[in-house]
């Protein structure tokens, strides 16, 4: 299912409380498949109709920012621990302050992947030793 993952699929799959009467893997699969095919259909229609329909998309960047803030807040509320999310938020703010706005997201993501990978390796090594 990793190849069909998108922001919406992850958000739904991570926060969904699947009833015991349903098989979780099927529920996650159908959510991911629906989202994936919705993206493909939307992109296809956008490609076909994009030249016909003129839309003023001013302000769309604000909507996307608001969407990601809502998704982040929801994930933060439902997570077992908020440590990782707060680390990510802190690094994003630090990188925004010290890096060019055009590259801060890339620097933040690379730094966080390296940090969390290192943390995983250290934790795994501790568990192997014990």
**pLDDT tens track for 78-107:** 777 888 888 888 988 999 899 888 898 899
31-65 per-position pLDDT tens digit: 999 998 998 999 999 889 888 888 787 877 788 77
Residue from 54, 11, 15 nearest 35 by CA: 11
Residue from 113, 126, 127 nearest 84 by CA: 113
Instruction: Compute the half-sphere exposure of residue 39: CA atoms within 13 Å on the CB side of its CA.
Output: 12
Other C-beta atoms closer than 10 Å to the C-beta of 106 total 11
Whole-prediction pTM:
0.52
Q: Cα separations (Å) of 99 from 69, 88, 110, 111?
A: 21, 16, 13, 12
């Amino acid at each position: 299912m990793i190849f069909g993952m998108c922001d919406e699929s992850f958000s739904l799959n991570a926060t969904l409380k699947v009833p015991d009467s349903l098989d979780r893997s099927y529920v996650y699969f159908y959510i991911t498949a629906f989202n994936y095919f919705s993206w493909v259909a939307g992109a296809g229609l956008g490609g076909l109709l994009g030249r016909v329909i003129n839309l003023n998309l001013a302000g769309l960047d604000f909507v996307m920012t608001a969407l990601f803030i809502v998704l982040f807040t929801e994930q933060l509320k439902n997570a077992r621990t908020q440590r990782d999310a707060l680390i990510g938020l802190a690094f994003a703010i630090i990188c925004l302050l010290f890096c060019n706005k055009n590259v801060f997201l890339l620097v933040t993501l690379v730094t966080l992947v390296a940090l969390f990978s290192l943390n995983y390796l250290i934790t795994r090594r501790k568990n192997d030793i014990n």
